[in-house]
Amino acid sequence: MIRAARHQEIALLPLIENAADERYVRLGLRQVLTMPPAGVASLEQGRRDGRLWVAVSPLNRVVGFALMKFPGGTAWLDQLSVLDRWQGRGLGAALIDRTAERARELGHDTLYLSTYLGVPWNVPFYARRGFASVPRGEWPQAFRLQFMIENSHGHPPWRRTIMQRRV
């Protein structure tokens, strides 16, 4: 089930992000674990603005989340995290769909994200959900700035891509 995040759940979300990121170590991307997770203040602002959703278990425990931001006025899936043991159950796809729905409600026709290349659960996962890579030569200034911010957090630029999905 997907629903809006509650205030008391915000502190759990960076822990979920960190736990979900542990799988990157298997691919030699250990630096992902040292990157700061989504900040509590940013998550709380997302909750208040109606752009933060959680996936919950049948016992109503938070097992994943999605956060949307608006760099350069574009709808951007800033973070998508689902705990390993809950992956493969459609929760990530449902979080994406809810984010896309909200982007459309706000007047956007496209949802963007950045992700790792060469990671089996990234580009192929998003492609199956209607996303396609945006050629670097077509990136607007806001995307270049977003990319520089990600690089400053330790993301290797040669392993990253930006994708888009019509909503």
Residue range 2-166 forms a domain whose CATH class is: alpha beta
Q: What is the pTM of this model?
A: 0.92
pLDDT tens figures, 133-155 = 999 888 888 888 878 887 777 77
The CA distance from 167 to 165, in Å, is 6
The CA distance from 149 to 8, in Å, is 29
| Percent of the residues in the chain that have a pLDDT greater than 70, as a whole number | 100
- pLDDT (0 to 100) of residue 37: 84
Query: Which two three-digit tokens encode residue 35?
Result: 């990157």
| 152: CB partners within 8 A, 6+ apart | none
pLDDT band at 95 (very low <50, low <70, confident <90, very high): very high
Higher pLDDT, 38 or 110: 110
pLDDT tens figures, 62-93 = 999 999 999 889 999 999 999 999 999 999 99
